[in-house]
Amino acid sequence: MNTHIAVVGASEATETEQAIATEVGRLIGSRGYVLVTGGLGGVMAAASRGAKDAGGVCIGLLPTSDRTTANEHLTAAIPTGLGELRNGLVVRSADGIIAIGGSWGTLSEIALAMRTGVPIVRIGGWSLTDEKGASIDLPSADCAEDAVRQLEAMIEPRAG
């Protein structure tokens, strides 16, 4: 069974975030991993484009019930009709996650990953503290290659 790696980030991402996401996707696809995203634009589309260009498989778990809202780079678009609740599906379907930049949806995916023990590495975006102000250990990387390497060292593919 192939390892599934989710890439999460804003649908309205900066050019820099999109460039990083494209490279992350390319690395995921070239290593034979399955890319999972929320299926829309921004970071999700850029990662999908990179993975597709590398010959990879790209699955998008859409928040809508309409498959036509998917970005054009997906191998499979799955309309959930769940809105933002689909973030939980993205997290739970992945063996590991790379978060690029940040938006509120990205923060929810980071929190769900931490809560459920899904390994995660971030590039930019959210820095977190607990209720006492102590920094929460969230692995971070400076570039796509470093993020993928760190995540590879952390993940154990799930059966089934």
In sequence order, what DSSP letters do the residues of 125-147 get, joined into one string? S---B-TTSPBP---B-SSHHHH
* pLDDT value at 90 more than 90: yes
* DSSP β-bridge partners for residue 79: 62
Q: What pTM was estimated for this model as a whole?
A: 0.93
The DSSP-derived string for 12-77 is S--HHHHHHHHHHHHHHHHTTPEEEE-SSSTHHHHHHHHHHHTT-EEEEEESSS-GGGS-TT-SEE
Q: Which CATH class is domain 4-154?
A: alpha beta
Residue 3 contacts residue 155 (beta carbons within 8 Å): yes
| Mean pLDDT of all residues in 127-145 | 89
Residue 9, SS3 per DSSP: strand
Amino acid 78: pLDDT: 97
Q: Band the pLDDT of 1: cuts 50, 70, 90.
A: low
Return d(Cα 98, Cα 9) in angstroms, integer: 9
Q: What value does the mean pLDDT of the chain take?
A: 94
Q: Band the pLDDT of 7: cuts 50, 70, 90.
A: very high
Amino acid 66: pLDDT: 96
| Mean pLDDT of all residues in 99-126 | 93
Residue 90, SS3 per DSSP: helix
User: Each residue of 35-87: pLDDT tens digit?
Assistant: 999 999 999 999 999 999 999 999 999 999 999 999 999 999 999 999 999 99
